[in-house]
Structure 1
């Protein structure tokens, strides 16, 4: 009976190892995606703020003249 359970234990261990490896890779992919998305949103926000400031500058110059 002990000999019959050993292959099952080995198989279960191999499946657990494989699952852990794949989940680790998936977590790395998700982490990288979140970082990239945060960077892109930050750059987009900066672009929007710069665009909002650009049109108001000529108005200020015109008002000062």
Structure 2
């Protein structure tokens, strides 16, 4: 399985939010989109956490 880049996951998440906000999906599709959005949100949070840790490590090394 290929790991998603942050930007790809974030853009997909934005698309899902837009679809859900439009309110044109039936219940099953909305639930499926919501589930996918939660998965993408988890990926984004993990990528941000990893980046913050890396920045912290680099900052500590250079201080």
- Structure with the higher fraction of residues in helix conformation: 1
TM-score category of the 2 structures, normalised to the smaller one: 0.5 to 0.7
- Structure 1: distance between partners of 2:44 and 2:27: 26
Once the two structures are TM-superposed, the CA of residue 32 in structure 1 deviates from its matched residue by 0.2
Match of 1:36 in 2: 54
User: Where does the alignment leave 5 or more consecutive residues of structure 2 unmatched?
Assistant: 1-24
Report matched runs for 1:1-65 at 5 Å. Answer: 8-45=26-63
Q: What residue ranges of structure 1 are gaps of 5+ in the alignment?
A: 1-6, 46-65
Distance (Å, rounded) in 2 between the aligned partners of 1:42 and 1:10: 48
In our comparison, the structure showing a higher alpha carbon Rg is 1
Calculate the TM-score normalised by the size of structure 2: 0.59
